[in-house]
Amino acid sequence: DLSYCQYFSEANEAKEQDDLKPVPGYPEREQWTRQMDFIMSCVGFAVGLGNVWRFPYLCYKNGGGVFLIPYLIIGVVGGIPIFFLEIALGQFMKAGSINVWNIAPLFKGLGYASMVIVFFCNTYYIMVLAWAFYYFIKSFNATLPWSTCDNPWNTPSCIEIFHHEDCLNGTIGNTTYGNMTCEELADGRSPIIEFWENKVLNISQGLDYPGSINWELLLCLAAVWVMVYFCVWKGVKSTGKIVYFTATFPYVVLIILLVRGVTLPGAYDGIMFYIKPDWSKLGEAQVWIDAGTQIFFSYAIGLGALTALGSYNRFNNDCYKDAFMLALINSGTSFFAGFVVFAILGFMANEQGVDISQVAETGPGLAFIAYPKAVTLMPMPPVWAALFFFMLLVLGLDSQFVGVEGFVTGILDLFPGKYYMRYKREISVAICCLMCFIIDLSMVTQGGMYVFQLFDYYSASGMTLLWQAFWECIVVSWVYGADRFMDDIARMIGYRPFPWMKWCWSFITPCVCMGIFLFHLFNYKPLTYNNTYVYPWWGEVIGWCMALMSMLCIPVSVLYKLCRATGTFKERWEKLTKPQWGPHHLEYMAPDTDIKSLASLSASTEDNKVIIFESGM
């Protein structure tokens, strides 16, 4: 029938002229203005506060330079392969953390799990920024409030100068605090610790004593959330510009601090303490566990944000090279920050007459106790304090930008087509920020630090991220197919990646993730604060509920979909693991792809069907 053929011929010409644009109803997905926007966003997200205080602490805790050996090994077999997998998956599927699992719809629970994790992470992580902003404001004083003991929040035990040398020589005499024995001096408290605990936190007796709200801290929290909102609300085209500053400025400050730090007395001892290997530590399992969790935390794996960032790439972007470059930048920053940290810690140990191991603390303690003390011992302390806490604020802000971006992208991808409305993105970002802010109110009370540590230890901990990474590898390698995904990557970047990636996804990385996960589980210890306060049983129950909220998303969603489907188990499995391709796959996959793979193209919703024109027509 000539009219029939003419109709399809005209349709084919129209299709070619329109360059196979997305189906009406799907708003065209944003893209980075330049590829460097994507690079800087990934650097800003992955390089954060963990690089400044967590990596150096773990390094000296686990044998100094020896820690680098398990760190690099796990980075090669676990960190880089999953980092590349998440970016490539987002770029290939052009979707956020939920819809990206249309590649195997049965396991869409992976997307919901990552959304839960990143939501919790966005909620509690911003408290560190609120504290940094609080210290930044307090830095604009002629005398830093944490450098003296004559403030209303100080106690009689507060001592500015400890006179350790006099105690060692047995010549302690009158001080500005009167006649004090060495025993009394040993029980003294530094003004920086009292400022942190009595003024900033005003910490209560425990989790069951929430106390009153710190209104100054509440205002800082609100100000930081406003900053995040106006940096994210317009999408990647605005976020991509802001991260140019937020991702590069910390490097400038770190270089300045390093130059200043190495000129201080005691800096050499601190650096040698950092890089001196303790080979006996290499045989301890905990060293490898710490290296694994640090890689997953530092690379931001399992949060879905890397997938969201990759989804804004051009389809033919070489994400393989990007993954290696970003991993090198991330780990290199951690190593470089260690020299900065230990140069200053060596100086502090020299000034206070104590061992370096007694100066450095893990978690917020290093950032908000050791560093403020360091700046008080430098010339022009307010200048150094303002510079450091502004850097700390910037380091955390770009990570927060991308965390919120990843969460909002995943939510918006669930409502395409007929649900599209004007200002949908702005409203979604506002709702997300408001919900997190309301939850954060529990963290600006006197018991807020206990709530913060509960979130940090359970909701986005190593266990939840390891569980997530394990299932990501299993689904891509064994459900969708590792060889098949390697072919898809080759279609995007023009060549096949080294087979090492496929081997890691299929065998090595899942074993590493599950091994570390089980070791965590079998060696579980109750949560404590400052090694003194033990959390009550109901506090641990709340923590485990937060952890299970993300971990159970995967098995529960699988069982639910299998039960709802019809047919034999094999028929259900084949139907539910059949990929649901998006409109952009027509443009990039045809006509190079075989007809068989194109025949499986199907739209995600009934009212947005994709019409396929076979190239053989």
Closest CA relative to residue 437, chosen from 143, 227, 162, 206 = 227
* Tokens read off for 381: 């302390």
Q: How would you write 368-435 as a 3-class SS string?
A: HHHHHHHHHCCCCHHHHHHHHHHHHHHHHHHHHHHHHHHHHHHHHCCCCHHHCCCCHHHHHHHHHHHH
Is 488 marked as a binding-site residue? Answer: no
DSSP, collapsed to helix, strand or coil, labels residue 188 as coil
CA distances 617 to 18, 591, 595, 600, Å, are 18, 12, 12, 18
Is 600 marked as a binding-site residue? Answer: no
Other residues' Cβ atoms within 10 Å of the Cβ of residue 417: 16
Other residues' Cβ atoms within 10 Å of the Cβ of residue 309: 29
Other residues' Cβ atoms within 10 Å of the Cβ of residue 613: 17
Q: In this structure, which long-range contacts are made by residues 488-493, counting pairs with CB atoms below 8 Å and at least 24 apart in sequence?
A: 488/92, 489/88, 489/92, 489/319, 489/320, 491/588, 491/589, 491/592, 491/593, 492/88, 492/91, 492/92, 492/315, 492/316, 492/317, 492/319, 492/588, 493/316, 493/317, 493/318, 493/319, 493/320
Q: CA-CA-CA-CA torsion for 63, 68, 73, 78, nearest 10 degrees?
A: 100
CA distance 205 to 579: 53
Contact 447, 204 (CB under 8 A): yes
Is 313 marked as a binding-site residue? Answer: no
Is 47 marked as a binding-site residue? Answer: yes
Is 429 marked as a binding-site residue? Answer: no
Contact 356, 273 (CB under 8 A): yes
Is 51 marked as a binding-site residue? Answer: yes
Rounded to a whole number of angstroms, the CA Rg of the chain reads: 27
* Tokens read off for 410: 């995943």
Is 399 marked as a binding-site residue? Answer: yes
Provide the b/e sequence for 360-383 (b: ≥16 CB within 10 Å). beebbbbbbbbbbbbbbbbeebbe
Residue 331 CB contacts under 8 Å (≥ 6 apart), including other chains: 71, 72, 75, 298
Task: Show binding-site residues for Na(+).
Answer: 44, 46-47, 51, 298, 330, 395, 398-399
Task: Show binding-site residues.
Answer: 44, 46-47, 51, 298, 330, 395, 398-399
